[in-house]
Amino acid sequence: MTLYVFDAKLSSSAFVKGFASKFPHKHFKNIESNTGDKFYNYTWPSWDGQIGPDGEAVFQGILRGTKEVEQACIEQEKDYYYFDQPYFFYSDYKQNSAGDKWYRIIKNNTQKTYIDKTGRCKTRFERIRERVKDNPDLLDQITLKKWNYEGDHILIIPPSYHTARWYGIDRHEWTGNIIKQIKKYDRTHPIVVREKYKGNVDWSPDRTEKPLHEDLKNCHAMISFHSMCAVHAVVAGIPSFCSEHSPAWPVSLGLKDLSSIKDPLYSGEREQWLHSLIGSQFTEAEMLAGNAYHFVNGKSV
């Protein structure tokens, strides 16, 4: 086995390199070509487009040329490991309040869309919960709240520009269609649309200032495409409707089920789902030790 490491971003470089450090690997660095849209004008000059006979790809994010890597893996039937911000304990590439740096690692997908019920994720969850038990903020992030059965509004999380481009959808059309569907089946609950950036401006550095937990207060249900906001909603006891690409997919109704908006799903598998998500994110130290690779591939470490 040889890991093909595609180093797309300076802030994530240590993570993808650390993940591969204990194994045979090849390193590829992207460069800006000065053509095309912002974040999409990147190429891999030292890569010939092939993942070798025993190769597996490692890359971070949905920008800077990584779509080309994913497509090559699909066409050549090669495994790949996708890196991105963690489901819990997010720290923007820095150490969080417990002194850790976390990343989620998903094999052959950008999100974990199934529940790993093998039991090893529960063991890992219990170990991590014990580790953060004295940190109220971190502990709260992985503590399931009671389902909210009496919410007063419906929250929509439109896909971002980058997510829409990755999946080949029109995000404005998507949002409009969702609103039409909701109004078709529910005229009781007001609709709140939460955009990622102020004024819904592409690539804006000005993110929405209102914390997500405020929009989740007394929320009846959340509708999203791929957003990790759905994870936080379900943990907070807010029912979810989402696409099959979402990490909340196993405990949600689908976007074709909006006829059930007045009677959403209050899943009984939340606990196993939470354990499963924890089983897909790792510290930098676990990557450097090789444990992250082994766990993603089914071993208990």
Q: What is the 3-state secondary structure (H, E, C) of the chain?
A: CEEEEEECCHHHHHHHHHHHCCCCEEEEECEECCCCCCCCCEECCCCCCCCCCCEEEEEECCCCCHHHHHHHHHHHCCCEEEEECCCCCCCCCCCCCCCCCEEEEEECCCCCCCCCCCCHHHHHHHHHHHHCCCCHHHHHHCCCCCCCCCCCEEEEECCCHHHHHHHCCCHHHHHHHHHHHHHHHCCCCCEEECCCEHHHCCCCCCECCCCHHHHHCCEEEEEECCCCHHHHHHHCCCCEEECCCCCCHHHCEEHHHHHHCCCCCCCCCHHHHHHHHHCCEEEHHHHHCCHHHHHHCCCCC
Query: pLDDT band at residue 245, thresholds of 50, 70 and 90?
Result: very high
Residue 256 pLDDT exceeds 70:
yes
Residue 20 pLDDT exceeds 60:
yes
Q: Give the start-to-end residue ranges of the domains of the chain.
A: 2-112+280-296, 153-273
Tell me what the mean pLDDT of segment 228-251 comes to.
Answer: 98
pTM for the structure as a whole = 0.93
153-273, CATH topology level: Rossmann fold (3.40.50)
Tell me what the mean pLDDT of segment 278-283 comes to.
Answer: 96
